[in-house]
Chains A and B, each alone.
Chain A
Amino acid sequence: MDDLRDKYIRLVAEAGDESALEDLRVQAVGKKGEISLKMRELGKMSPEERQVMGPKLNALKDEINSALSAKKEALEDVALDERLRAEWLDVTMPARDRRVGTIHPVSQVTEEVTAIFADMGFAVAEGPQVESDWHNFDALNIPGHHPARAEMDTFYMHRAEGDNRPPHVLRTHTSPVQIRSMEQQGAPIRIICPGRVYRADYDQTHTPMFHQVEGLALDKDISMANLKWVLEEFFAAFFEVDGIKTRFRASHFPFTEPSAEVDIQCSWEDGQLKIGEGDGWLEVLGSGMVHPKVLQAGGIDPYEYQGFAFGMGIDRIAMLKYGIPDLRAFFDSDLRWLRHYGFASLDVPTLHGGLSR
C-alpha cells in the first residue's frame, strides 16, 4: 500500500501538463483506477480486515486527490505566469489622445466677478449691443454736443436712406443697461452688467471691442461711502489680497455726481506689476453717485431713491490678475494662447472654493 502511495505521489509530481495529470487521475482514482479497484475488494474482506483497510484506502484516495489538485493549480500558475510574461507592453507609449477644452479668461473672470457681487446681492442684467443713441448717451446725461461723445470714439450703425432717426450706436459702455434695468425693474435695484462694448480705437493697448462690467445699486439710503466699501470688498476678494488699499479721486462723468476715479494699490518691480502692495496707484475704474437726470431717464424719482454706479474693464482686470500682457491677443483665438491662458472646464469659480487658480 505504501508502494502504491509512493508511486502515485511521484508520478503526480513528475506530471508535465494537465493531460498527463488527467491520465494519472484516471489511472489512480478513476472508476477503474488502481485505488478504486482496491476499494472494491473491501467487500470480500473480513470485517476486521475491512476495519483496518477501509480507512487506509480512503485516506490514500484523499491524499492522491489533494496531490492531483495541488499539482493542477501549480501547473495553471506556471501557465499564467508564462502568459503574463508574454503580455508585456511598453507602458511608456502615449495614452489614447483626449482633447482638452478651455474656458476663455473673459468668461472665467466674468464668472469670478459675478460670484463676488452675487454674494452682495447683485443680480446680472444684460442689454443689447446695438443700442439707441438715447440709451447710450442722452439718457446718461450726455447730450449731442457733449465732448464725451467725440471722445468715446463711437461706432455708428448705417442708416438707410429716408430713415431719419438718429443712427444707432454700438454701445460704448455697459451703462445703457443701467437705464434699461431701471425702466424694467425700478428701484430698489442691485445689478451688475457684464458684456461687450465697442470703441473705434485700435493700437497697442486698445481693441475696437472689449468687455466692461457695470454696477448699479439704488435704494433709499445708499451712499458713496457704501460704494467705497463695496469696491474695496470686491478688490480684496477678486485679487485675493486682504486689506488692499484703494484711492478715490474726485473726477467727472456726465452720468454720476459726485464722481470718483478709483485706483488700487500696486508696485512695479523689474517690470513686474504686483497688485495690493507698494505705494503706486493703478487706475481701474470710474464710479459715482447716479446723477438725478439719469435716475429720471430710467423712470426713478431722484428724491426718493439714490445710489451708486461704477464701470470697469473685465479684460483689464483679467490682465492684471493673471499677468496677461497683450489685450489684442484676447480676440485672436491663437490656440497656443487659448491653452496657456484658458481655464479648465470644471474650474467654476465659487466663493467657497476660491476664485483663482
Chain B
Amino acid sequence: MKFTLSWLKDHLDTEATVDEIAEALTDLGLEVEEIINPLDKLKNFTLAKVVKAEQHPDADRLRVCMVDTDEGEKQIVCGAPNAREGITVVLCKPGDYVPGIDVTLSVGKIRGVESHGMMASERELELSDEHNGIIELPSGEVGQSFADWLAVHEPAKVDPVIDIAITPNRPDALGVRGVARDLAARGLGTLKPAQNVEVEGQFPCPIGVSIAEDTTDGCKVFAGRLIRGVTNGPSPQWLQDRLKAIGLRPISKLVDVTNFFTYDQNRPLHVFDAGKVKGDLLIRRAKEGETLVALDEKEYTLGDGQIVIADNEGVESIAGIMGGLSTGCTEETTDVFLEAAVWDHIQIAYTGRALKINSDARYRNERGIDPGFNMQGLEQATAMIMELCGGEPSSVVVAGAVPDMSRAYKLDPARVISLVGMEIPESEQRQTLTKLGFKLEGSMAHVPSWRPDVMGEADLVEEVARVASLTKLEPQPMRRVQAGVPKPILSLHQKREQLARRTAAALGYNECVTYSFIDRESAALFGGGTEATMLENPISSEMSHMRPDLLPGLLQAAARNQSRGFNDLALFECGPAFQGGEPEEQHMQVTGILVGRTGPKDVHGGSRPVDLFDAKADAEAVLAAVGAPEKVQILRDGPAWWHPGRHGKICLGPKKVLGIFGEIHPKILKAMDVKGPVVAFTVWPDEVPAPRKKTTTRPALDVSDLQAVERDFAFIVDAGVEALTLVNAAAGADKQLIENVRVFDEFIGGSLGEGKKSLAITVRMQPQGETLKEKDIEAVAAKIVEKVTKATGGVLRG
C-alpha cells in the first residue's frame, strides 16, 4: 500500500517528519517497506544565477558561464541551449552526487576551459524526463536550497512516497484514512473530521438494480446512481500526480475518481458507461461457461455460482473484482452509472482465486471493506465526479441493505496489563480505543464498522498493545519452572535419536538431510510410490511421493557425489520415513550407506571394497549406542531391495526387527545409477525395548581370579550352515563355564570338496570354583563336539 505524505496530510493534521511517521508505522504493525523521498537526493543543490554567458572558444555548442553562487562567482561550462545571462538555475557543485547521470562531480576542464560544477536539467535531478535544457526557475535567491524552493513552489514533485506492508487483518489500512487514524491514535497528529456529503438526486435513476434470490448471501448491498451529462477527459494535475506517485496510471476523470477512493478510503467503486448498459442491472450467479471480456481486455470464462452483474444482454461485470470492457467508461462517456456495493469477502476470494484476477478491487473486497461507509462513499464520489466532470445526479437506487455488523466486547484493563506485561493505565487504554474509532459504553467497546478483524476481547488487547508500542515493552524474566538445577527434558526417543546420530558420525559417516519427498520410481523401488503417499500438488516430478525409506534419498545423494568424482562415500541420515499418508504413518530411521572402498588406496594396503560386515559392525554399534540388547537373532528374508543372500535382519524374535544390514540389490543400484559396491544399514531406534531398570546402580562386578582357558575347534559342516548356529550350539555345551565363543576362521573348498566348509572357533572357558584340570577340559570339549554335531551335522576336523 503506497501513499504520499501530502495525501496522508489530507486526513492527518501533523507536524511529524517522514522519518518519525515511518518509525511509528512500522512499530504499529504497518511495516514500512520503502520510503522514496525525492528531497533526499536534492538536499545539496542550491540556486544560482547566470551573470554572463559567452561562447566557448573551441566548441560551437558550449558556453562559458559566470555564475553567481553562495560561494562567490564560479566559471561553469554548459552545453544547454537555454544557458544565458540572467536566468536562475540549479547548481551542482564539485563533490555533489547527481542522481540522473550517476556521477559525483569534480572540477574539470572541458575543451581546455575549467568548469566548477554544473547547472542541472530536470532529468539530471530525476524530477522528470525533461532534458531539452537546464532548469530555469521563475523565482528564488542565490544560495537558497533547491529542495526548499520545490517544497514551496512545486510540492507534488518532492512529495515523499511511503510504501507499507499490510497484514491481512487490516483492510482499513488499505485506505490512507485508516493509516492516518492509526497514527493519530499513536499521537502523531490529529485525525481530520470525516466528511459528510449528501448530493440530492435531481431525477429518478433510470437504471434499476436488484439481487437474485440465490445471491443475497453473496451481495449484501448494491447501491448506485446515474450522473448524466458529464464531460470525461484527463484528470486535473493534482489527481494525476497522486496516482502517478503511487504507481497508478491516470486514465480519465471518471476512472481516476474510482481509483482515488480505492486508495483514499479503501472504497472500491465501479463506473459503467450508462449509455452502453441495456436495461436494468441484476446481481446474480453466473452460469457455467458464461464469458466476459473484462477491463484488462482478457476474456474470462465464469464458473457456476460466481457472482456477476448483468444487464439484458448478459454479464457486464465480475462482481467486486473487475468490470467489463463493453460497458467501461471512455472519453465519450456522457452518462455514468456509479456503483458502490458490499460483497461477501469469502466469495470474492474464491472467485478471484479461480479466475486468477489480481485487481485492487478484489484485493480490498476479499479482505473486507467498511460496509458503514458504503452509502457515504457513493455520495462523496458523486460529489467528486460532479466537481471534475459536471453533470446531474439521479436519486440513489439500492438493492439489499447495508449489513449490521455492530458488536461490542468487554475491555478488561487488568487482563490487558497481564497479557502484555506493561502497565498501561485504564484511561490510556480507553483513549487508544476511542481514537481508533471504538465507542466505549462502560466497559464495553463497540467495534467500528471498518474493523472486520476485531472479533473478541483478545483483539482489543492487541489494539491497545500495538498503539502503546511493543518496541517500548520492557522484557521481564520468566519464572523458572523450579528453583535450582533444571531437570533433563529429552524423551527416550529423542536421546536415542541424538545418540544414534552422533554414533554414526563417530563411525565416519557424513550426515545428510535429504528431502522427505522423492520421485515415484525411486519410491516404488523401496516399497513406496503408492497413491496414499502421493502429493496432490508436487513442486516437480522429482518430489512427488513421501519417501518410504531413507535409502533412495541417500543413494541419489551418492550418485550426485559420484558424478562429482567422489567414489568412496559414507553417508547417513536420521529422519522420518512414511509408510502411508496418514499422520500416524511416520517412523524414524537411522540409515547409513557405504559406497566404494573403505578408503583411498594407500601405502599400507588397507583399502578394500566395502562389504556387508562393515555395515553389520556399524549397525551393531548404533544399536549398542541406543541400548539394544547384545543377544539378538540374525534373520533373512528382508525386503526385495537387498541382495537376497547378503543381508540380515537384526531381530528380537521374528516380528521385532531392530535393524537390517547388507548389500543393496544390484538391480536397484543400476536403476538409481549408483556405481557399487554399496552396503547399507538401517536401524529403528524406537523398536529397541525401553530399559526396565530404574536404578543407576550397576550390578556388582563378578570376576574370577582363576585363569581362563581357551581351546580351538574346527568343524567341517555343510556350506549352508550358519556360523551363529554353530556358535550357539558350542556355547550351550556348558553355560556356566563357557564365557565366549568366537568364529576365527572360515575355509571353503580345497580338500573339503563341494558344498562343505570348515569353521574354526575359539571357546573361552572361565572356571569359577577351582582351576580346570585337563580331564575337565576334555569333558567339556567332548560335549562341545557332541552339541555342534547334533546342531549342524558337522564333524570335528581331524
Q: Could you list which residues of chain A lie within 8 angstroms of chain B, going by C-beta atoms?
A: 93-94, 96-104, 106-107, 111, 114, 118-124, 126, 128-132, 135, 145-148, 150, 155-160, 167-168, 170, 190, 196, 198, 200-202, 208-209, 217, 221-226, 228-230, 232, 247-252, 257-261, 289, 291-293, 306, 330-336, 338-339, 342, 344-346, 348
Contact = CB atoms under 8 A, between A and B. Distances in A.
Nearest to A146: B168
A201 B169 CA distance: 24
A223 to B, nearest CB: 3
B515 interface: yes
Contacts of B315: none
Nearest to B457: A292
A103 B505 contact: yes
Nearest to A159: B536
Contacts of A330: 513
Interface string B488-517: 111101100010011111111111111111
A154 to B, nearest CB: 8
Nearest to A261: B31
Interface stretch (B72-80, B149-157, B414-422, B714-722): B414-422
Interface in B542-598: 543, 546, 554, 557, 560-561, 564, 566, 569-572, 574-576, 578, 581-586, 598
A346 B503 CA distance: 9
27 contacts: A99-B508, A103-B511, A107-B574, A118-B488, A118-B490, A130-B581, A155-B536, A155-B539, A157-B533, A157-B581, A158-B536, A158-B581, A167-B536, A217-B478, A223-B421, A223-B476, A225-B474, A226-B475, A228-B476, A229-B477, A250-B465, A250-B470, A252-B29, A260-B470, A332-B560, A333-B560, A335-B510
B478 A157 contact: no
Interface stretch (B127-135, B237-245, B395-403, B600-608): B600-608
Contacts of A332: 557, 560
A69 B714 CA distance: 49
B537 A156 contact: yes
Interface of A is mostly: mixed
A249 B367 contact: no
Contact of A124 (B473, B478, B490, B502): B490
B167 A222 contact: no
B539 A158 contact: no
Interface in B613-661: none
Given A129-B586, A306-B418, A335 B569 contact: yes
A160 B513 contact: no
B586 A130 contact: yes
Contact of B27 (A226, A249, A258): A249
B519 interface: no
Contacts of B511: 101-104, 107, 338, 342
A148 B367 CA distance: 11
Given A224-B419, A226-B478, A107 B501 contact: yes
Contacts of A232: 475
Given A101-B572, A118-B489, A123-B489, 10 more contacts: A97-B602, A101-B506, A101-B510, A147-B366, A155-B538, A156-B535, A208-B517, A224-B470, A292-B456, A330-B513
Contact of B486 (A118, A128, A228): A118
A159 B581 CA distance: 9
B404 to A, nearest CB: 21
Contacts of A156: 535-537
Contacts of B202: none
B599 interface: yes
Interface residues of B, number: 105
A120 B454 CA distance: 34
The 9 closest A-B pairs by CB, nearest first: A225-B421, A99-B508, A223-B421, A250-B29, A250-B466, A345-B505, A333-B557, A252-B167, A97-B599
Interface stretch (B224-232, B335-343, B346-354): B346-354
A333 B419 CA distance: 45
Nearest to B540: A202
A155 B544 CA distance: 10
Contacts of B486: 118-121
B167 A223 contact: no
Contacts of B422: 224-225
Nearest to B511: A104
A250 B27 contact: yes
Contacts of B421: 223-226, 228
Given A94-B603, A130-B585, A168-B582, A348 B532 contact: no
B458 A292 contact: yes
B488 to A, nearest CB: 8
Interface of B: 26-29, 31, 167-170, 345-346, 349-350, 353, 366-367, 418-422, 456-459, 461-462, 465-466, 470-471, 473-478, 480-482, 486, 488-491, 493-494, 498, 501-517, 531-540, 543, 546, 554, 557, 560-561, 564, 566, 569-572, 574-576, 578, 581-586, 598-600, 602-604, 606-607
Contact of A97 (B502, B503, B606): B606
Given A226-B478, A342-B510, A248 B516 contact: no
Given A145-B346, A346-B506, A196 B535 contact: no
A260 B462 CA distance: 10
A251 B512 contact: no
Contacts of B475: 225-226, 228-229, 232
Nearest to B565: A335
B26 A249 contact: yes
A257 B462 contact: yes
B582 to A, nearest CB: 7
B168 A202 contact: no
B512 A99 contact: no
Contacts of A93: 603
A114 B497 CA distance: 14
A208 B603 contact: no
Given A148-B168, A292-B458, A335 B516 contact: no
B332 to A, nearest CB: 39
A284 to B, nearest CB: 15
Nearest to A196: B516
A94 B600 CA distance: 11
Contacts of A123: 489, 491
Contact of B571 (A107, A130, A131, A333): A333
Contacts of B480: 120-121
Contacts of A101: 504-511, 570, 572
Given A101-B511, A118-B489, A121-B481, A129 B535 contact: no
Given A99-B570, A156-B536, A223 B583 contact: no
A128 B560 contact: no
A260 B167 CA distance: 12
A196 B168 CA distance: 26
Contacts of A293: 456
Contacts of A202: 539-540
B29 A168 contact: no
Contacts of B576: 129, 196
A150 B546 CA distance: 22
A186 to B, nearest CB: 15
Contacts of B582: 130, 168
Contacts of B345: 145
Contacts of B481: 121, 190
A111 B498 contact: yes
B606 A96 contact: yes
Of residues B465, B513, B564, B607, which shows the largest number of chain A Cβ atoms within 10 Å of its Cβ? B513
A221 B557 CA distance: 49
A229 to B, nearest CB: 4
A104 B537 CA distance: 29
B505 A209 contact: no
A337 B418 CA distance: 48
A223 B603 contact: no
Contacts of A217: 478
Given A101-B509, A155-B538, A228-B475, A257 B489 contact: no
B539 A200 contact: yes
Given A200-B537, A251-B29, A333-B571, A223 B602 contact: no
